[in-house]
Amino acid sequence: MTTGQETAMETYWPRLGLVAGDGLQDLARVFGREGADTVLEIGFGMGHSLAEQARVHPERDYIGIEVHGPGVGALLMAVGKEGLTNVRVFQHDGVEVLEQCIPDGSLAMVQLFFPDPWHKKRHHKRRIVQPEFAELLRRKLKIGGVFHMATDWENYAEHMRDVMNTAPGYKNLSASGDYVPRPESRPVTKFERRGTRLGHGNWDLMFQRIA
């Protein structure tokens, strides 16, 4: 971690950090308000996109999950600098947080942006988007809630599309049954801009819980 990230952890973690070992969370108590839509992002990297969304949408509550310490520190630094009150953070495995800490039917959106593609075929089973994961998210989303994915690996985009198109209880929000244009709600990150300069494509997928 940088000195700034370490200072942010010391300063803001006691107020904004959540601990998976504490078990199921009461989200109204966590954020100190009732009725706000809750958006959860798995693997937020350095947190630039998540902090920007929270700044633009103070009416929503955001939960970020990231195992990488410098990323957690960077997000807390951005949140502290902006004085945001609508962000909370887990430094833990995303699947375990969903299973142990997030109430069923509580999320308006789950975001998974540029996860590890595990591009070698023998590693595809390690990709987070699998049928079991889709079912776990379906339980955590409200009816009408959306699972939003983005990747710069076309093969992983195809994998996500195929898994989610056959997952029970979801509707693909793409009119063509595959991908959606990048929504304005997803800020373009430095990572993504770099990939675009290198000629990488980007694919967004959005699936709504309907049952």
Q: Looking up tokens 């601990």, which residue turns up?
A: 19
| CB proximity list for 151: less than 8 A, separation 6 or greater | 114, 115, 117, 157, 160, 202, 203
Neighbours of 206 (CB within 10 A): 21
pLDDT at 123: 60
Query: Length of the chain, please?
Result: 211
155-208, pLDDT tens digit by residue? Answer: 999 999 999 999 999 999 999 999 999 998 899 877 788 778 888 899 999 999
Return the bridge partners of 192, or none: none
pLDDT at 161: 98
Structural domains of the chain sorted by starting position, each given as residue range(s) with its CATH number in brackets: 3-209 (3.40.50.150)
Return the closest-CA partner of residue 188 out of 89, 52, 83.
Answer: 52
Cα 55–Cα 57–Cα 63 angle in degrees, nearest 5: 80
Full-model pTM: 0.95
Return the closest-CA partner of residue 5 out of 68, 95, 96.
Answer: 68
Strands (E), the chain: 17-18, 38-42, 61-65, 87-90, 107-113, 141-151, 170-172, 203-209
pLDDT at 190: 73
pLDDT at 118: 58
Give the DSSP letter string of 50-72.
Answer: HHHHHHH-TTSEEEEE---HHHH
Residue 88 is given by DSSP the state E
pLDDT at 19: 98
Mean pLDDT per block of 10 residues along the chain (211 residues) reads 96 98 98 98 96 97 98 98 97 98 98 85 84 98 98 94 98 97 88 81 96 98
Where in the sequence numbering do the catalytic residues fall? 116
